[in-house]
Amino acid sequence: MSKGLVIITGASSGIGEATARLFARLGYPLLLLARRLPRLEALDLPDTLCRQVDVCDRDALLAAVREAEAKFGPADALINNAGVMLLGDMPAQAPEEWDRMIDVNVKGVLNGIHAVLAGMVERRHGTIINVSSTSGRKTYPQHVAYVGTKHAVHALSENLREEVSPHNVRVVLIAPGACNTELQTITTNNSIKEGFAAWKDSIGGVILQPQEVADAIRFAYEMPQNVCIREIMLASTNQPV
Ligand code: NDP
């Protein structure tokens, strides 16, 4: 039987890119979304449609999903992975940074769900995998707005799972700890960035690799449809918090 369409947001780097490479090797047709289209196209993966989509643009996201479904058949999985992290000290952080995190990390996740959910419910089949974070369960210094967005992803995922489980649709949370990606690079406060590098050194310099998170996503997705892995929280063994 041919494999169903897998949609990955934020596939141009890090966890999304590693997941795209893994799922392409496993033979899934893919829709890859991000703002940096050349990075998606450079992956050069088979049976893959790449589209430049900002997850905050609900119409563009929906149009890309419909285009991919016309080509590959209905969406079987959405990996809602696109995210941004702008760490800051609350008294000093520009509110525009909170806005961006809320727009991408929360509204972007809801926009992805909106694009696929009705079809999954109608077909009584499908999986939504939301990439949250240990920041969706815990709190960390200088993470206030980011932690808020990831707690929102945890909460909305659990509530959605309750709502769609009678329709045989799975909702899975993947909650990684620190992972070696570009995520830390966009924080605008340099002393916080240096602090993260020092913290990484303090735990032996070993954090998760994106491929390890991709393996967890694969594990959850490839369980039979009657098994819903509700949440996987994973972090480097060295990460104490
Ligand atoms: P990266 O920065 O490497 O990747 C983030 C991805 O999100 C990129 O592909 C980026 O693509 C995409 N993205 C950002 N903004 C938008 C947007 N507006 N529209 C569409 N795509 C967007 O970081 P990670 O791989 O680490 O991040 C992936 C997810 O993992 C995030 O949700 C993050 O919060 C989560 N996470 C990461 C951890 C870590 O330590 N790295 C730990 C816990 C969770 P582009 O810029 O081309 O649009």
Find out whether the beta carbon of 112 lies less than 6 Å from any atom of ligand 1: no
Residue 146 is a catalytic residue:
yes
**Cα 1 to middle of ligand 1, angstroms:** 32
pLDDT digits (tens, 9 = 90+) for 167-214: 999 999 999 999 999 999 999 999 999 998 899 999 988 999 999 999
pLDDT digits (tens, 9 = 90+) for 18-39: 999 999 999 999 999 999 999 9
Task: Please give the pLDDT value at position 1.
Answer: 59
Q: What average pLDDT does the segment 210-227 reach?
A: 98
pLDDT digits (tens, 9 = 90+) for 95-154: 999 999 999 999 999 999 999 999 999 999 999 999 999 999 999 999 999 999 999 999
Find out whether the beta carbon of 30 lies less than 6 Å from any atom of ligand 1: no
Relative to the CA of 85, which ligand 1 atom is closest?
34
Find out whether the beta carbon of 32 lies less than 6 Å from any atom of ligand 1: no
**Cα 183 to middle of ligand 1, angstroms:** 6
**Three-class SS of residue 43?**
coil
* Between 2 and 236, the higher pLDDT residue: 236
CA torsion angle for 44, 47, 51, 55 (degrees, to 10)? -110
Q: Which of 28, 140, 146, 221 is catalytic?
A: 146
Beta carbons of 234 and 213 less than 8 angstroms apart:
yes
Task: Please give the pLDDT value at position 2.
Answer: 87
Task: Flag whether the pTM goes above 0.85.
Answer: yes
**Cα 166 to middle of ligand 1, angstroms:** 31
Axis-axis angle for helices 58-72, 108-123 (nearest 10): 40
Q: Which CATH class is domain 5-232?
A: alpha beta
